[in-house]
Amino acid sequence: ETGVTQSPTHLIKTRGQQVTLRCSSQSGHNTVSWYQQALGQGPQFIFQYYREEENGRGNFPPRFSGLQFPNYSSELNVNALELDDSALYLCASSYEETQYFGPGTRLLVL
C-alpha cells in the first residue's frame, strides 16, 4: 500500500470528449507526477506539480493539463480525446526523492 489513490479505476470515453482523472496522495507529499503508460510500454512522464504549480513537463500537447490542490489531491485533464490517449494513467507522489504510485486509471477512448 502506497497511500496513493486514484479515481476512477476504469473509464470509457469517445473521441473528442474531455476527461478528468483524480489522484489523492499522502499528507506531506508536496510533489505529484502524472504518467501515461500504453499497453506493453513503460510509463511516459506527462508533468509534475510542486506546491500547486507545474514544475516540469514531458513531451505532451497542451490539451493535457493538470491541477494540484492544497489538500494533496490533484487532477489530470485531457481535452479533445484521441484514440491514442487510451492508456493506463498513473499518478505518483514524492517524498524524500521516492515516488509512490497509485493503482492507475485505465482509460479507453473509442
Partner 1 sequence: QQPVQSPQAVILREGEDAVINCSSSKALYSVHWYRQKHGEAPIFLMILLKGGEQKGHDKISASFNEKKQQSSLYLTASQLSYSGTYFCGTETSRTGNQFYFGTGTSLTVIP
**Which residues form the interface with partner 1 (CB under 8 A)?**
2, 31, 33, 35, 41-45, 48, 50, 55-56, 58, 90, 94, 97-104
Cell of 104: 492507475
CB of 109 to partner 1, least distance (A): 19
In terms of CB distance, is 19 or 46 closer to partner 1?
46
In terms of CB distance, is 13 or 106 closer to partner 1?
106
Handedness of CA 23, 18, 82, 10 (dihedral sign): positive
In terms of CB distance, is 33 or 74 closer to partner 1?
33
CB 77 within 8 A of CB 17: no
The pairing of strands 10-13 and 105-109 is parallel
CB of 94 to partner 1, least distance (A): 7
CB of 72 to partner 1, least distance (A): 18
CB of 10 to partner 1, least distance (A): 12
Which helix (H) or strand (E) element contains residue 105?
A: strand 105-109
Handedness of CA 38, 15, 53, 60 (dihedral sign): positive
